[in-house]
Chains A and B, each alone.
Chain A
Amino acid sequence: MNVEQVVVEAMKKIRNAGFEALDGLRAEYLGRNGCLTQILKSLSQYSVDEKKKIGSAANIAKNTIDSEIEKRKEKLKKNLFDEKVKKEVLDCSESFYFPFSKGGFHPVVQMIQEMSSVFVSLGFSVAEGPEIETEWYNFEALNIPQNHPARDIQDTFYLEGSNSLLRSQTSTGQIRVMEQYEPPLKVIVPGKVYRNEASNASHSSIFHQIEGLSVDENITFVDLKSVLTEFSHIFFGSGLNVRFRPSHFQFTEPSAEIDIQCPFCKGKGCRVCKNSGWIEILGCGMVHPNVFKAVNYDPEKYTGYAFGIGVERIAMIKYGIDDIRLFYENDLRFLKQF
């Protein structure tokens, strides 16, 4: 057989061979006693020209056959794995996976963190204050004298055997910050507050507030409006309009309340906003001169704004929760949703 015939024959055999047969074929053609090896060995009987010709043809043939065997091997391997994979197809239905238990962060804490980070991005830093306070910090310094009807709204828990009370508003933080630092100030004080009232779906004896305060020589109502509008747009989305309404707080003058367009009906009126189209989100105002006097700031030199946000209220709006008590029951069926 000449080289060409050998190649044709070998190719034919390889194409139909199985795994084991391939090793035989390799020996048959390329092995020490294989026919191509034989041809190369017998080159001595030929002329120089023929030697060259047959030799190179035989070497090419060797490579061709070798690579054909490899190709065939790859192909067989692939078939084998294809079959294996086909057999191993699994049902990917939801229920089959390992049921790792899901953790959850408390929605109120999340809300505080989210709002805080918006305020931090607006240049505020974060401070904190004690929950056990005195009348001075909770009322007097905030321009709420003894026997003022404003104390009615905030029935307060008092502690036995001392003049202490549990703060009814994080506004105490304003006083603490101003006592500790000199202007300029731009700070929020998140925390727990306490009101001595019976709990129901919309009232809780404990809830959280975020107090804000900015004081400097040239802080104005325009700043107040700009910053809180910006906050509302970042936090609730710029698609919801913001409305400032005059209001009254003892420690600010002028005072305002801010409403946003109801996120559920976009202002058309629904059950959540009691058909008004608006939802109240926070109270604010320009710091009352008596508050500045209480912390020995000169009210002729400094001006400032303050605001307070009820965290649970906002969380209830954001998540559509209709009973504030759910936040404090700590039922896993509730917590795992957040």
Chain B
Amino acid sequence: MKISYNWLKNFVDFELNPQDLASVLTSVGVETSVVSSDCCWTNVVTAKILDVKKHPGADRLSLCKLSDGSKEYQIVCGAKNVAAGQVVPLAKIGASLPGNFVIKKSKIRDVESEGMICSAKELGLKKDSEGILILDENVKIGSALEDVFMENDSVLEIEIATNRGDCLSHLGIAREIGAKLHKVISMPTIKTFDVASLNSVKVKSDLCLRYMGSIISGVKVGPSPKWIIDALEKSEIRSINNIVDITNYVMIELGQPLHAFDISKISSKEIIIRNAVELESIIALDGKKYQLDPEMLVIADNQKPIAIAGIMGGEYSGVDEKTETIFLESAIFDAISIRKTSKKLNLSSDSSYRFERCVGWDIAEFALWRAANLIIDIAGGKMEAKEDLQTIKYEKTKIALRIEKMTKILGYDIEENEIAEILRFLGIDLQPRGERILCSIPSWRNDIKIEEDLIEEILRIKGYDSVPCPKKHVNTVCTTNSSAFIPKIVEKFRTKLNGLGFCEALNYSFLEIKELEKFNLNPYYKISNPVSKENEVLRPSLLPGLYRNLLLNIKQGSETVTLFEYGKIFGELGEKKAFAVIMYGKVWQEWWMWSDRKINSSYDFYFAGGIIRNILPFDDFVIAQNLTSNSYYHSGQTAAVVYKGEYVGQFGVLNPLMTDDVNGDVLYFEIDIEKISGDYVEKKSQYKAYSKFPIVKRDISIVSNKSLRFSEIEEVIKSIKKSGDILKEYSLFSVYFDESKLGKDKVVYSLRLSYRNSNKTLTDEEVNKDMYALLEKLDINLGVRLRE
């Protein structure tokens, strides 16, 4: 909301400049900033031309003498329209004008000039202008030019909390200033009218709490006076005609929305406030047709609605140039009803905005008379009749405030006298009752409902700055055992992957349905009110998001994309935490030292598997065959991660059919953190003593069938390791298959075996014996033999 600084001064007497006023209002919770006037100059003042002479050295130039009231200036001017007696904008030495133009002391044809008289173009006010800008001769000289244009006013931009409907007017803001500065508010003087009751208004719904109106005849509709147009403009309200403008003027002045109907356009003399009926509709002032329903409140004549109550009037009952008699409405409608209707119709207005936030009971009456006074003053006319119907009996809210309670919440004492003074300046009536103070809340403060609200009032007016702020001892209260946002196991993954050059991604939890379909994933949670397609469903896997990131990064030129993400996924069993890694592209970057070597290996199944094994922190995790692999994996290149006998994750090459939009394999790993983080404790393996005696290494090559899984051979090796206790390590250093040399389905594995005894140096015989035991067992169990 935008309001005028000067207008506030009509209500409350204060000395603060606009900037300081904004700070004071912000300090009481009304966020305020001064709207910068649109001027793009500094140091330009109004000055009067006292004398104009010809420049001694140039025919086209004039030598002017100007005064700003305190000093005289000699200015050289080239404009033709310059004349003595004019009031003009004078850019003084040091002034800056649009286009980084700074005025300096200068000599023009040997005559000194102490500034410049500006044209509208030079001030950036118009694109083109002829000659200097001549101002109204009544303008006070010596004023800053921007103040002349703003008529010495400032516009304040104000943000109001949802509970402070009472602040949506100049009066409301003035009350806040008064409360803070301990000043009493002065209201505009109004004349009330002693006229007959209208007797033709019927309130037929309790969604209307109070309905007041008056009939004014003989008005002359026309343009508003300048002061009203200017006032509305500062609050960004367009001028329509004097009657409509006055209703708006009073609304921004006092906070009460008003509406004026042309009585001649109402088909009966009756005005009925009722709920709309099924299939009823109205064309509102915005020219649009609105379909109404029985939950909505309307103002109607005996045939049809003439206004959507509290939101917008009907088009055909509005005031226009031909209007002579008006019905002026000032009412209080149920805030929730207005809000619901406004939401349903997707129609809001300055009026509905205020009604939703509650308007004050008493101000409705005052505002009606204020507007009637202004209408009769400005548009003429005569007050004919009035009405005031109330469907509830209004009573002020009463709250007992306990000083003790206040101290308990605030943590320090505030003097009782000070409390009383603050409350009084907020318009609250006080009656001390022993330990308590009984407070009667003024009608405009609908937000004050409980003791705590009063405590906030006292504190905010006293100032949050005044609350002591001692350095507190840290008292640890053990609420939960956790002290980190990220589970330890995930922290481990993140640290290791970061060291490998992987980056952490964060994706939206939403996906488009077609992104799921790409990977054969089912949506378990659909959003019922998505703002766009991107928000259709919740992700059942981290894959589509990371894949989207992959495509983006390939597109921007990355040859390697390695990302990981930790977050919630939403599957069959609800939401759960998951961690995922995506790997694509070259493993190594190009490097000049390697230019003669072939370093072009890409992320593939075994390399990625090595990374997965490396980040899984201890022996409880085992890589196993993926028996229930997701269909987004290449069915032959995927494996499972098993934790304590339970399948917790899968990795592998993504199904090439689904990733045909990139060249080469995409590797993906996803693990269910929910299943492990709960019982994961940082586990350190027991220290194992190691031997001081030398190692003996033997290389063997064995021939196996391709159909035999290597892990079966490993099982045999492990059993020998266990029984002989001297085979300590083995590694696979070559895998070789060549049909022409080995025959179909044969494969040669070369293994390096490392033997060591913990108590003595091994002899050849001992090593041979153990190795033969291995070869024999391989032969007997698996038919795997030493290569000839």
Chain A residues with CB under 8 Å of chain B are 96, 98-106, 108-109, 112-113, 116, 120-128, 130-132, 147-150, 152-153, 157-161, 166, 177, 181, 184-187, 190, 192, 194, 196-198, 205-206, 214, 216, 218, 220-223, 225-227, 229-230, 243-248, 253-256, 274, 276, 286, 288-289, 303, 327-333, 335-336
Structural contact, B460 and A246, CB atoms closer than 8 A: yes
**With contacts A105-B498, A221-B467 known, is A113 near B162, CB below 8 A?**
no
B505 at interface, CB cutoff 8 A = yes
Contact A104 B527 (CB under 8 A): no
- Cβ contacts under 8 Å, A194 to chain B: 509
Residues of A within 8 A of B408 (CB): 218, 220, 303
Q: Which residues of A contact B497 (CB under 8 A)?
A: 103
Across the interface, which residues of A come within 8 angstroms of B504, CB to CB? 103-106, 109, 335
Q: Which chain B residues border A223 with CB–CB below 8 Å?
A: 411, 472
Asked whether B469 lies within 8 Å of A96 as measured between CB atoms, the reply is no
Partner of B505, one of A106, A126, A289: A106
- A226 and B527 in contact, given A106-B505, A185-B479, A327-B506 (Cβ under 8 angstroms): no
Q: Is B26 an interface residue (CB 8 A)?
A: yes
Is the pair B485, A113 in contact by a Cβ cutoff of 8 Å? yes
For chain B, the bracket of interface size reads 35 or more
Q: Tell me which residues from 520 to 559 in chain B have a Cβ below 8 Å from any Cβ of chain A.
A: 525-532, 535, 538, 549, 552-553, 556, 558
Residue pair A220, B411 in contact (C-beta under 8 Å):
yes
Chain A proximity of B478: nearest CB distance (Å) = 6
Complexed CA–CA distance, A147 and B409 (Å):
29
A103 near B479 with CB under 8 A, answer no
A205, B480: Cβ atoms closer than 8 Å: no
Is B481 among interface residues, defined by CB-CB distance under 8 A?
A: yes
Question: How far, in Å, is B496 (CB) from chain A's closest CB?
Answer: 10
Query: Would you call B558 and A328 a contact (CB within 8 A)?
Result: no
Contacts of B412 in A (CB 8 A): 220, 222
Closest A residue, CB atoms, query B358: A149
Whether the pair B482, A126 counts as a contact (CB closer than 8 A) is: yes
Contact between chains at B471 and A116 (CB < 8 Å): no
Pair B471/A221 contact, Cβ less than 8 Å = no
Q: Are A149 and B467 in contact (CB under 8 A)?
A: no
**Contact among A96, A218, A230, A286 with B452 in the assembled complex (CB-CB below 8 Å):** A286
A189 to B467 CA separation, bound complex (whole angstroms)? 27
Contact B508 A329 (CB under 8 A): no
Q: In the complex, A202→B742 CA distance in Å?
A: 66
Give complex CA distance A103, B494 in Å: 10
Contact yes or no, A147 B336, CB < 8 A:
yes
Q: Mark B319-346, 1 if CB is under 8 A from A, else 0.
A: 0000000000000000010011000000
Q: Is the CB of B556 within 8 A of A333?
A: yes
- Complexed CA–CA distance, A149 and B353 (Å): 10
Q: Which positions 3-37 of chain B face chain A at CB distance < 8 Å?
A: 26-29, 31, 33
For A248, the chain B residues whose CB sits under 8 A away are 29, 161-164
CB pair B470–A226 under 8 Å, yes or no, is yes
Q: List the B residue with the shortest CB-CB distance to A216.
A: B477
Contact indicator A221/B162 (Cβ below 8 Å) = no
Asked if B474 contacts A157 (CB within 8 A), the reply is no
At the interface, yes or no: B502 with Cβ under 8 Å from chain A?
yes
Q: List 19 A-B contacts (CB under 8 A).
A: A101-B589, A105-B498, A109-B566, A113-B484, A126-B483, A181-B479, A186-B479, A198-B531, A226-B470, A227-B472, A244-B464, A253-B453, A253-B456, A254-B452, A256-B464, A328-B507, A328-B508, A331-B552, A335-B504
Determine the chain B residues whose CB is within 8 A of the CB of A122 once the complex forms: 474
Q: CB distance A131 to B532 under 8 Å?
A: no
Q: Are A331 and B486 in contact (CB-based, < 8 A)?
A: no
Chain A residue nearest to B407 in the complex (CB):
A220
- CB of A185 within 8 A of CB of B477, answer yes
- B591 close to chain A: CB less than 8 A: yes
14 extra interface residue pairs, beta carbon distance < 8 Å, beyond A184-B477, A246-B28: A104-B503, A132-B525, A149-B357, A181-B480, A221-B409, A244-B464, A253-B450, A253-B452, A330-B507, A330-B552, A331-B552, A335-B504, A335-B563, A336-B503
Query: Does B40 count as interface, using CB distance less than 8 angstroms?
Result: no
Asked if B245 is an interface residue, CB under 8 A from chain A, the answer is no
Q: Which residues of the other chain, B, contact A106 by a CB distance below 8 angstroms?
A: 503-506
A190 to B485, CA, bound (A): 7
| A103-B464 contact, Cβ under 8 Å, with A181-B479, A220-B409, A226-B471 | no
Do residues A159 and B475 form an inter-chain contact, with CB atoms below 8 A?
no
A103 touches B409 (CB 8 A): no
Q: Which residues of B contact A108 (CB under 8 A)?
A: 506
| B563 CB contact (under 8 Å) in A123, A192, A330 | A330
B287 — which chain A residues lie within 8 A by C-beta?
none
> Are B552 and A103 in touch, CB under 8 angstroms?
no
Given contacts A109-B506, A222-B467, contact A125 B478 (CB under 8 A): yes
B467 touches A329 (CB 8 A): no
A225 pairs with B29, CB closer than 8 A: no
- Distance between Cα atoms of A227 and B478 in the complex (Å): 17
- Whether A99 contacts B591 in the complex (CB less than 8 A), given A158-B529, A289-B452, comes out as yes
The stretch among B74-82, B365-373, B567-575 that forms the contact with chain A is B567-575
Q: Are A247 and B469 also in contact (CB < 8 A) when A126-B480, A153-B162, A331-B552 are?
A: no
5 shortest interchain CB distances as A-B pairs: A220-B411, A246-B29, A222-B411, A248-B161, A101-B501
- Are A226 and B568 in contact, with the CB atoms below 8 A? no
Contacts of A190 in B (CB 8 A): 485
* Bound CA span A103–B561, Å: 11
Considering the chains assembled together, what is the distance between the CA atoms of A333 and B698 in angstroms? 49
CB-CB < 8 A to B610: which residues of A?
Answer: none
Q: Is the CB of B356 closer than 8 A to any CB of chain A?
A: yes
Which of B28, B29, B410 is the one whose CB lies under 8 Å from A221? B410
* Cβ contact within 8 Å between A330 and B505: yes
Q: With A103-B501, A147-B340 as given contacts, are A205 and B484 in contact (CB-CB < 8 Å)?
A: no
**Cα A161 to Cα B538 with chains together (Å):** 14
Q: Give bound CA distance, A99 to B486, whole Å.
A: 30
Check B483–A160 contact: CB distance below 8 A: no
Closest beta carbon of chain A to B777's beta carbon, Å: 44
| B468 at the A interface (CB under 8 A) | yes
B476 at the interface (CB under 8 A from A): yes
Does A149 lie within 8 Å of B356, measured CB to CB?
A: yes
Which of B485, B500, B528 has the most chain A CB atoms closer than 10 A to its own CB?
Answer: B485
B560 within 8 A of A: yes
Which residues of chain A come closer than 8 Å to B645, judged between CB atoms?
none
